[in-house]
Amino acid sequence: MPYDSVVCVKQVPDTANVTADAMREDGTVNRGALPAIFNPEDLHALETALKLRDNHGGTVTAVTMGPPKASEILRECLYRGADRAILLTDPRAAASDTLATSYILSQAVKTVGQFDFAFCGRQAIDGDTAQVGPQCAEKLGIPQVTYLEDVVQVSGKTARIRRNVGHGWEVVEVQLPVLATVLETANQPRPPAARRVMRLKKAQTRAELTGIVRAEMPEASNEDREAEVQRRADALKERNLLIEQWNLDDIGADLSRCGLSGSPTKVHRIQSIVLRKEGHTELPATEEGARQLIRELVVDRTLG
């Protein structure tokens, strides 16, 4: 039988390659200075859903929450084979912590409609919290299976999933629908399909059109710009190239649970890592240097 999947994806700054120019003098990170990438584990979540569809039929819907620029990764999802992509963008969602984010995402997933599987990457590399997946599952009122490495078997409304528990693995059986968080060891994500890239590279969200029109018509009135956005959106829609876009009202979100007001945790302080050690001793790479090192380690009782 066919299975419908929803995949939650996120665009993240490439924190694995932070250079000095990405740090401001006050120690905060200048996200703008970092390239924005598809969160690595989310690509594996997408691949898990696509494989399931290859084998059993059904649909794959990608959802992301973020600024208009996040539309980029939705195109990436479409290139790889997603049937549908949705951008959830709303300034009122800014500054959401993991609890508020999971609330918003769960509302978006509910709005997508019936599904059998929801997949997320285990964690996003900007926060590394791994909290949004389980919190989303709780809000959807469905079981969660974290650290998925393989969907071993699906039959009827039951799935068997192998999960990595750190020092081993286990296979669990779960009733659908289920939310699973996926590890990068789960699979090898497929590359974008050339034919789909050709067909879908012009796919855009309304938020992107708004940005483009604002840049192209700086002198125009708001009304004229809005009319131009509408014209372009209609043209894209006709060719099936308008990527869906929702705001918090579209998903029936309770605003008190979104953004700053929906976030119990607050950032109190941010410090950049200071690279310095007091009392650093450099020793020569000689026999005497080695002897001195061992002697000092014995004297301060580090070595017995």
Partner 1 sequence: MIEPNRQGEVWVFAEQEDGSLHDVALELCGKARELADRLGVQAGAVLPGSGVGSLANKLIGHGADKVYVVDDQRLGHYQTGSYAQVLRELIEKHRPQIVIYGATPMGRDLAPRVASSLRAGLTADCTDLEISDVTDPKTKTDHLNLLLQIRPAFGGNIIATIVNFDRWPQMATVREGVMPLREADASRTGQVIEEKVEIDPAVMAVKLIERHIEPRKINLKGARVIVAGGGGIGSKDNFELVYDLAGAIGGAVGASRAAVDGGLIGKEHQVGQTGTTVRPALYIAVGISGAIQHRAGMEESAKIVAINTDREAPIFSVAHYGIVGDFKQVIPMMIKAIKEK
Question: What residues numbered 3-32 form the site for partner 1, per CB under 8 A?
Answer: 13, 15-16, 18, 22-23, 27-29
Closer by beta carbon to partner 1, 195 or else 276:
276
* Residue 297 in the binding site for partner 1 (CB under 8 A): yes
154 φ, ψ to 5°? -130, 135
Closer by beta carbon to partner 1, 111 or else 164:
164
CA distance readout (Å), 179 to 6, 109, 120, 176, 250 = 9, 11, 8, 9, 23
Interface residue with partner 1, options 83, 92, 95, 126 (CB under 8 A): 126
Closer by beta carbon to partner 1, 195 or else 269:
269
Closer by beta carbon to partner 1, 1 or else 298:
298
Among positions 56-115, residues that touch partner 1 (CB under 8 A) are 97-99, 102
Contact at 8 Å (CB) between 96 and 119? no
Among positions 150-169, residues that touch partner 1 (CB under 8 A) are 160, 164-169
Rounded Cα distance between 56 and 243, Å, is 25
* Residue 298 in the binding site for partner 1 (CB under 8 A): yes
Rounded Cα distance between 284 and 272, Å, is 31
Interface residue with partner 1, options 54, 173, 224, 249 (CB under 8 A): 173
Interface residue with partner 1, options 64, 89, 107, 135 (CB under 8 A): 135
245 φ, ψ to 5°? -140, 130
Contact at 8 Å (CB) between 79 and 192? yes
Interface residue with partner 1, options 67, 143, 192, 211 (CB under 8 A): 143
The residues near 126 (Cβ < 8 Å, ≥ 6 apart) are 12, 13, 15
Closer by beta carbon to partner 1, 66 or else 81:
66
Closer by beta carbon to partner 1, 191 or else 284:
284
Q: What is the Cα gyration radius of the chain? A: 24
Rounded Cα distance between 32 and 36, Å, is 8
CB of 58 to partner 1, least distance (A): 21
Interface residue with partner 1, options 134, 192, 196, 244 (CB under 8 A): 134
Closer by beta carbon to partner 1, 219 or else 282:
282
Would you give the binding string for partner 1 spanning residues 244-283, x where CB under 8 A is met? -------------x-----xxxxxxxxxxx-xxx-xxxxx
Supply 245's token pair.
Answer: 């876009």
Contact at 8 Å (CB) between 248 and 104? yes
From the list 54-62, 70-78, 82-90, 142-150, the region that binds partner 1 by CB under 8 A is 142-150
Rounded Cα distance between 46 and 76, Å, is 10
Taking CA 130 as the corner, what is the angle to CA 128 and CA 132, rounded to the nearest 5 degrees?
A: 120
The residues near 102 (Cβ < 8 Å, ≥ 6 apart) are 131, 132, 135, 136, 138, 139
Interface residue with partner 1, options 221, 222, 240, 286 (CB under 8 A): 286
DSSP per-residue codes, 184-209: TTS--PPPPPHHHHHHHTT-EEHHHH
Closer by beta carbon to partner 1, 137 or else 229:
137
From the list 45-53, 205-213, 229-237, 295-303, the region that binds partner 1 by CB under 8 A is 295-303
Among positions 203-222, residues that touch partner 1 (CB under 8 A) are none
CB of 60 to partner 1, least distance (A): 23
SS3 287: helix
